[in-house]
């Protein structure tokens, strides 16, 4: 078969899958909460029952990634062991406990002419997920879509192809004895970049595409999609230690934000320290980071404080490391800190450590990011930590949804207008 023929065949397969997902969404949107929650219970149970099989399949993906020289941080994201599979199943159960947003009245009122107006939440329809490495996203996205009445079209990376296929098989198998259509959860066929293109240009079949991964993936989808896109963001997250900070607290927050898990978008990548406390705090900070195995890419003041600090460049200020590396600098003021953040931030999460109410208020007013942490680690920017249950991603755009995206962010709205024979004069 010619290359053109292969592309045409792959496009047809993607379109057929999208058509099936669209048909399933029409059924799913009418399902009750009880029906959807029963299906989710079945999915959680199946994940636990087949955990050993899932882990064995995942081991093949992990070994292939290791053989290909894949970065350790990516392999960490890719790996599913029994503990992580249990966490995924538990996250499904957390979604069961969450309120169903469908039918919620966003606003309602009666006009002077007697017309009753209600704006209610409805499903988006078909949600296309394009994501890298993390197979847990396969389940998170599927169950959040199902609970919110949407069909999920899942296109993970080739590095997790066997694991993703196995997880989708397990979930669809769990739906077999339920009223939920199996095609409410679909794996997008194909393993080439062209299959991604087919998905994100399936306008009329796919209602929204959500890319989740590195900057290159997100940029490709944003630039190439004809389907509406909810942009999830790269996490170049900052921690600013103010002149009025509790230094013990600051040290604890920085270490947690940087080292608790490095391969995630809400890990801290830059630390900024007010000059007034630099002499006291920098030796403690660099020593603690060194002991934790973190390489500090610092400005001249940081370099003077510790010979192990390597010089920071503009690339460091702009980098989401996904590793035990951090950029670090000393600033003359809170305003200088927020200027630095506005220049280099990706709009994900920024944190301030301070005991000054005025400094905190000024920081919040000056920083334009999806989440701002006050005396808390950036690692809390997470749907589960916010009480949403499993999240589908963290949006850094400003339309429709921003920050961790839970069930409500997977809905649109419809206006219901009720009259008594009203006609417009």
With cut-offs at 50, 70 and 90, classify the pLDDT of residue 56: very high
pLDDT tens digits, 303-352: 999 999 999 999 999 999 989 999 999 999 999 999 999 999 999 999 99
Judge whether 424 lies within some domain: no
The mean pLDDT of 203-221, rounded to a whole number, is 91
Verify that 62 and 155 share a domain, yes or no: yes
On the question of pLDDT at 3 being above 70, the answer is no
pLDDT tens digits, 107-119: 999 999 999 999 9
Verify that 414 and 376 share a domain, yes or no: no
| Closest listed residue to residue 267, CA positions, set 288, 239, 237, 242 | 237
Residue 142's pLDDT is what? Answer: 96
Residue 84's pLDDT is what? Answer: 96
Verify that 359 and 346 share a domain, yes or no: yes
Verify that 88 and 214 share a domain, yes or no: yes
Verify that 120 and 267 share a domain, yes or no: no
Instruction: For residue 338, report the phi and psi dihedrals to the nearest 5 degrees.
Output: -70, -30
SS3 15: helix
Judge whether 396 lies within some domain: no
Judge whether 390 lies within some domain: no
Verify that 194 and 252 share a domain, yes or no: no
Could you count the other beta carbons within 10 Å of the beta carbon of residue 1? 8
Q: Which residues lie below 8 Å from residue 373, measured CB to CB, with a gap of 6+?
A: 349, 350, 351, 352, 380, 381
Task: Decide: 390 and 140 in contact? Cβ < 8 Å.
Answer: yes
Task: Decide: 293 and 324 in contact? Cβ < 8 Å.
Answer: yes
Residue 145's pLDDT is what? Answer: 97
CATH code, domain carrying 135: 3.40.605.10
Judge whether 389 lies within some domain: no
Judge whether 30 lies within some domain: yes
CATH code, domain carrying 327: 3.40.309.10
| Closest listed residue to residue 353, CA positions, set 365, 370, 368, 337 | 337
Residue 5's pLDDT is what? Answer: 58
Verify that 195 and 250 share a domain, yes or no: no
Q: What domain range includes position 13?
A: 3-232+405-418
Task: Decide: 140 and 147 in contact? Cβ < 8 Å.
Answer: no
* pLDDT top residue among 36 and 232: 36
On the question of pLDDT at 99 being above 50, the answer is yes
Judge whether 166 lies within some domain: yes
Count structural domains, the chain: 2
Judge whether 395 lies within some domain: no
With cut-offs at 50, 70 and 90, classify the pLDDT of residue 377: very high
On the question of pLDDT at 46 being above 90, the answer is yes
Verify that 222 and 89 share a domain, yes or no: yes
Residue 73's pLDDT is what? Answer: 76
Residue 1's pLDDT is what? Answer: 43
Verify that 174 and 250 share a domain, yes or no: no
pLDDT tens digits, 262-304: 888 899 999 999 999 999 999 999 999 999 999 999 999 999 9
Verify that 346 and 410 share a domain, yes or no: no
On the question of pLDDT at 2 being above 70, the answer is no
Judge whether 266 lies within some domain: yes
Task: Return d(Cα 305, Cα 156) in angstroms, integer.
Answer: 44
Residue 390's pLDDT is what? Answer: 67
Verify that 161 and 264 share a domain, yes or no: no
Verify that 141 and 257 share a domain, yes or no: no
If you average pLDDT over every residue of the chain, what do you get? Answer: 94
pLDDT tens digits, 13-30: 999 999 999 999 999 999
């Amino acid at each position: 078969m010619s290359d053109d023929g292969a592309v045409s065949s792959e496009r047809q397969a993607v379109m057929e899958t999208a058509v099936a997902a669209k048909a399933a969404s029409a059924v799913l949107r009418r399902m009750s909460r009880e029906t959807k929650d029963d299906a989710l219970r079945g999915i959680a149970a199946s994940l636990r029952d087949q955990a050993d099989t899932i882990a064995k399949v995942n081991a093949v993906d992990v070994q292939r990634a290791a053989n290909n020289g894949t970065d350790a941080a990516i392999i960490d994201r890719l790996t599913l062991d029994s503990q992580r599979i249990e966490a995924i199943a538990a996250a499904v159960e957390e979604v069961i406990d969450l309120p169903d947003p469908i039918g919620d009245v966003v606003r309602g009122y009666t006009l002077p002419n007697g017309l009753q107006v209600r704006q209610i939440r409805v499903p988006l329809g078909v949600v296309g997920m394009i994501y890298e490495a993390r197979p847990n996203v396969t389940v998170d996205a599927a169950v959040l879509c199902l609970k919110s009445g949407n069909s999920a079209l899942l296109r993970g990376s080739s590095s997790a192809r066997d694991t993703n296929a196995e997880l989708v098989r397990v979930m669809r198998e769990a739906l077999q004895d339920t009223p939920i259509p199996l095609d409410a959860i679909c794996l997008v066929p194909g393993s080439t970049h062209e299959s991604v293109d087919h998905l994100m240009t399936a306008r009329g079949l796919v209602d929204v595409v959500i890319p989740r991964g590195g900057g290159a993936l997100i940029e490709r989808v944003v630039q190439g999609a004809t389907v509406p896109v909810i942009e999830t963001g790269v996490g170049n997250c900052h921690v600013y230690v103010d002149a009025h900070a509790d230094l013990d607290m600051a040290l604890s927050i920085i270490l947690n934000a940087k080292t608790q898990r490095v391969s995630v978008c809400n890990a801290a990548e830059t630390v900024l320290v007010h000059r007034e406390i630099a002499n006291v705090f920098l030796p403690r900070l660099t020593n603690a980071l060194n002991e934790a195995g973190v390489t500090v890419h610092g400005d001249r003041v940081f370099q003077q404080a510790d010979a192990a600090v390597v010089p920071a460049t503009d690339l460091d200020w702009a980098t989401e490391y996904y590793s035990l590396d951090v950029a670090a600098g000393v600033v003359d003021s809170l305003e200088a800190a927020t200027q630095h953040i506005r220049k280099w931030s990706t709009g994900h999460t920024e944190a301030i450590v301070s005991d000054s109410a005025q400094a905190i208020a000024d920081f919040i007013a000056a920083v334009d990011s999806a989440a701002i942490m006050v005396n808390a680690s950036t690692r809390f920017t997470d749907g589960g930590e916010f009480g949403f249950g499993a999240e589908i991603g963290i949006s850094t755009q400003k339309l429709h949804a921003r920050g961790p995206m839970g069930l409500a962010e997977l809905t649109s709205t419809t206006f219901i207008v009720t009259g008594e024979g009203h006609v417009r004069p």
